[in-house]
Amino acid sequence: GTGVITFGFKAGSGTASRIVEWQGRAYTVGAFVQSNFGKRRNITIRGLRAGPELLEPAVREGTPRAEKGSIIAVAATDAPFLPHQMKRLARRVPLGVALTGGFGYHSSGDIFIAFSTANASAALAPSGRIASADFIPDTDIDPFFDAVIQTVEEAILNALVANDDMTGRDGNFVPALPKTWLKEKFG
């Protein structure tokens, strides 16, 4: 994540997770992002369109910009889901990106995937037998959708908050998201 810029601020890798209760059992939904996208004016934090307030410090002139960059996001869970359900979870990842002000511009190389660690034994079933897999019904999937959206949003913000100003090769400078401003706005 050394050269990664998100909304004109130093970014990188970010993670977040949530616990989802279903039928008396706790499942974890997590997100990992490599965040490298977005225009400064669009950054949104916890619903606040912050871009107009965060025009300074600027990226040093000549520093490559990531406005039309890309994001890689992985959603993972230990909840038992079938492949079509995992595709549905992966389709919620862009909603988390959008909550931060990301729009997926033309030429963005966005990659979103999702997987479950449940049902590993189903793949190891002996040949000649019917294998079975547990799964949460489609009608009960909404809390997991919410968790994916929330964790992706938080992982992007964590990637921003975890970094400091960076000066790289040839004097390229990328500022960190101002921590003082964050404390003033969100405590």
From 13, 17, 78, 110, the catalytic residue = 110
Task: Find the length of the chain.
Answer: 187
Q: Which of the residues 13, 17, 35, 70 is marked catalytic?
A: 70
DSSP bridge partners of 117: none
Helix axes 83-90, 142-161, angle to 10 degrees: 50
Query: Distance between CA atoms of 62 and 64, rounded to whole angstroms?
Result: 6
| Cβ-proximal residues to 116 (8 Å cutoff; 6+ apart), any chain | 76, 77, 78, 79, 80, 81, 86
Whether 70 is catalytic: yes
Q: Is 108 a catalytic residue?
A: yes
Is residue 121 annotated as a catalytic residue, yes or no? no
Q: Which of 13, 35, 78, 108 is catalytic?
A: 108
Helices (H), 138-178: 142-161
Q: Are 104 and 94 in contact (CB under 8 A)?
A: yes
Sign of CA dihedral 148, 149, 152, 157: negative
Which residues are catalytic, by number?
70, 108, 110
